[in-house]
Amino acid sequence: LVANLSPHQCHKISDNIDRLSPPIYILFFIFVGARLEPRLFLNRGIALLAGVYLAGRTFGKMLGASLGAYLSKAKETVTKYLGLCLFSQAGIAIGLAMVIYHNFSLLGPEGKEVGILIINIITATTFIVQIIGPPCVKYAITKADEVWRNVTEEDIIEHHRVGDMMRRDFSSIREDATLDKIIDTVKERDSYHFPVVDNQGNLVGLISLGSLRSVFSEEQLRQIVLAKDVSEPIERILYKDQPLKEAFEIFNKREVDYLPVVANRDSRKVVGILEYHHLIQSVNRKLLERQQVLESNI
Better-predicted residue by pLDDT, 35 or 261: 261
Residue 10 pLDDT > 60: yes
Averaged pLDDT for residues 90-107: 83
Pair 30, 36: CB distance under 8 Å: no
Q: Could you tell me the CA-to-CA distances from 186 to 173, 182, 191, 273 in Å, in that order?
A: 10, 6, 7, 15
Averaged pLDDT for residues 173-186: 80
Max avg pLDDT among 131-140, 154-163, 170-179: 131-140
Q: How confident is the model at residue 224 (pLDDT cuts 50, 70, 90)?
A: low
Model pLDDT, residue 294: 66
Model pLDDT, residue 19: 85
Secondary structure (DSSP) of 131-146: HHHHHHHHHHHHHTT-
Buried/exposed code over 126-156 (b: 16+ C-beta within 10 A; e: otherwise): beebeeebeebbeebbeebeeeeeebeeeeb
Averaged pLDDT for residues 264-278: 85
Residue 39 pLDDT > 60: yes
Q: Could you tell me the CA-to-CA distances from 194 to 162, 187, 190 in Å, in that order?
A: 18, 12, 11
Distance of CA 248 to the CA centre of its chain: 12
Secondary structure (DSSP) of 149-161: ----HHHHHHT-B
The strand order across the sheet containing 203-208 reads: 173-174, 193-197, 203-208
- Which residues fall within 8 angstroms of residue 70, CB to CB, at 6 or more apart? 79
pTM value? Answer: 0.49
Averaged pLDDT for residues 134-157: 80
How many whole angstroms separate alpha carbon 92 and alpha carbon 103? 17
Model pLDDT, residue 222: 56
> Terminus-to-terminus CA distance in the chain, angstroms?
33
Residue 43 pLDDT > 80: yes
Rounded percentage of the chain residues whose pLDDT exceeds 70: 88
Better-predicted residue by pLDDT, 96 or 153: 96
Model pLDDT, residue 17: 83
State the CB neighbour count (10 A cutoff) for residue 22.
Answer: 9
Model pLDDT, residue 68: 93
